[in-house]
Amino acid sequence: MLKLRNANRLIEETNIKAPIESEVAIKHIDAGDYVQPGMVVYELVDTKNLKVDLSFPEYLSPKLKKGLEVRITSPTNPDEIVISKIKDIKPNIDSRNKSLTTIIDFENPGTWLPGASSRATVVFSKFENAIVVPQISVVRRSIGEVIYVVKGDSVKETLVKTGLRKEGYIQILEGIALNDEIVKDGAGFLTDSSIIEIVN
């Protein structure tokens, strides 16, 4: 019985177990090879927990902080958005490109591969009940930027104050209400009190 226990212990000591849930990337040994303590026998890749190193120009360093929301997409599946947060910020500016690197950890949604490229957007601030309109509905006139608000069968030229711009949309800070109906297509051809026909 003692010999059996010793044999089982020796077998257990020769088992190689991965310290994390992972997949084998490179195998350095074959069956029958002798190994020594500390010898690298496998190289593992963690495919469940991924990390992104995201670099920013140094002028943004005062705005960067741990906990900021980050939205990550993959070129292979751009419609799949992973939401995470900045976990850490490296304490130095890279002298080669004058950038500051942040570290974002996130769980693999299922199909992403370690080492693949990704695109990340950091949310520096959020605006509750913000009014956002298509960029083509904002027209520049001599008085400033205007939007044409529908009033029955005509429009009212309304001066607006704009904010952030992103991917074809503009934030409206002042000038129109959330439930105002505005002209999108052809707004640049209108003037104040122009007669319009709404086509559903």
pLDDT-based confidence at 10, cuts 50/70/90? low
2 or 131, higher pLDDT: 131
CATH architecture of the domain formed by 49-123:
Beta Barrel (2.40)
Using a 10 angstrom Cβ sphere, with 0-12 exposed, 13-18 middle and 19 or more buried, the burial of residue 93 is middle
Q: CB–CB of 94/135 below 8 Å?
A: no
User: Which tens digit of pLDDT belongs to each residue from 91-147?
Assistant: 999 999 999 999 999 999 888 888 888 989 898 887 778 899 999 999 999 999 999
Task: With 0.85 as the threshold, say if the pTM is over it.
Answer: no
Distance set, CA 154 to CA 65, 175, 198 (Å): 48, 18, 10
Distance CA 190, CA 139 (A): 9
CA separation for the pair 176, 118 (Å, rounded): 37
Strands (E), 93-151: 99-107, 119-123, 131-134, 139-141, 144-151
Model pLDDT for residues 46-61, shown as the tens digit of each residue: 888 999 999 999 999 9
- The highest-level CATH class for domain 131-189 is mainly beta
In the chain, residues under CATH classification 2.40.420.20 are 131-189
Q: What local confidence, expressed as pLDDT, does residue 192 receive?
A: 96
- What confidence tier does 167 reach under pLDDT thresholds 50, 70, 90? confident
User: How many angstroms separate the Cα of 174 from the Cα of each of 124, 130, 149, 196?
Assistant: 21, 10, 13, 24
Question: What are the residue ranges of CATH 2.40.30.170 in the chain?
Answer: 49-123
